[in-house]
């Protein structure tokens, strides 16, 4: 496994990993919503974030995107989930920070469990305005 900064010519690949992962993990949200976010993900969100990719056998299998101490995204190819890539990405950003916050949909039980196992704590219950879905604000402190 190798983690490095993403290259701008890899944006389409990252957006595809994000999109497929979003559909897989958030089947309670309409596909049209995720489709409507593709352009912003490529042109705004990923370029403004500190984004790193994780590679296995020279192939990008996932990425993590941070905006200051906010975990904006961590996605692993659906076929590669459960192999420790997400945990490696999270450990990578934890090594350089004292505090991380993120939001996760409450219905995404797999992700909620993952973050709780990684020493995050639920701080607050919120509602995501665009989707109307309940979410948690999670926090990790060194």
Over the stretch 36-49, which tens digit does the pLDDT of each residue have?
999 999 999 999 99
Instruction: Find the domain containing 87 and state its range.
Output: 2-141
pTM of the model: 0.95
Per-residue pLDDT band for 60 (boundaries 50, 70, 90) equals very high
- Residue 27 token pair: 């089947």
Per-residue pLDDT at 1: 79
Per-residue pLDDT at 71: 98
| Number of folded domains that form the chain | 1
Give CA torsion, residues 37, 2, 24, 90, to 10 deg: -80
The CATH code of the domain that includes 105 is: 3.40.630.30
Instruction: Provide the edge-to-edge strand list for the sheet that holds 134-141.
Output: 2-5, 50-56, 59-67, 70-76, 99-105, 134-141, 121-127
């Amino acid at each position: 496994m190798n983690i490095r900064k993403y290259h701008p010519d890899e944006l389409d690949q990252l957006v595809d990993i994000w999109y497929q992962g979003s559909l897989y993990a958030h089947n309670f949200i309409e596909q049209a919503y995720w489709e409507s976010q593709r352009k912003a993900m490529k042109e705004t969100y990923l370029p403004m974030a500190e984004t790193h990719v994780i590679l296995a056998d020279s192939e990008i299998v996932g990425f993590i995107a941070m905006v200051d101490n906010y975990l904006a995204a961590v996605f692993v190819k659906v076929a590669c989930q459960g192999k420790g890539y997400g945990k490696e990405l999270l450990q990578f950003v934890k090594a350089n920070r004292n505090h991380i916050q993120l939001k996760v949909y409450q219905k995404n039980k797999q992700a909620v469990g993952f973050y709780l196992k990684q020493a995050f704590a639920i701080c607050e219950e919120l509602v995501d305005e665009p989707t109307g879905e309940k979410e948690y604000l999670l926090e990790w402190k060194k």
